[in-house]
Amino acid sequence: MVRPVDSTTEQKWNNEPSEQSKLIAQAYARDADKPELNGFKQSCRESRKFGFPIVAAQPVKDHREQLAWAARLLLSIAQSWPATDIPDDFEVIVGSRLHDDAKQLVANANGNSRQLGL
């Protein structure tokens, strides 16, 4: 098999995240301590106590896809990156603050969904 040479395909062959994914992760790290974002994350952790749990509407989705959608939600709340500028092939970089927060959001939402039998 012949490997294509353009830079986008080269990144895919190397399993490296795109430059834009790296920039998005850096922007989120910069904004991760904003009060509105911290308030949202706290609400997600405690919402079940008040009868309004945050749930995963489609908990059967692929884990990577769930992480990507959770990351998009966090980016929107933090206003770190315009949603219209996030590429379709956006990857959440493992080990980034965005990855860790998105992973926690997915875990909370899936746990709430399971507890409610959804």
pLDDT, tens digit, 9 for 90 and up, residues 61-100:
688 889 999 999 999 999 999 999 998 888 999 999 999 9
- Residue 110 token pair: 């899936």
CB-neighbour burial class of residue 110 (10 A; exposed 0-12, middle 13-18, buried 19+): middle
pLDDT at residue 57, rounded to an integer: 78
pLDDT at residue 16, rounded to an integer: 77
Q: Which residue's structure tokens are 């079940």?
A: 48
Model pLDDT for residues 2-29, shown as the tens digit of each residue: 344 444 444 455 567 788 999 999 999 9
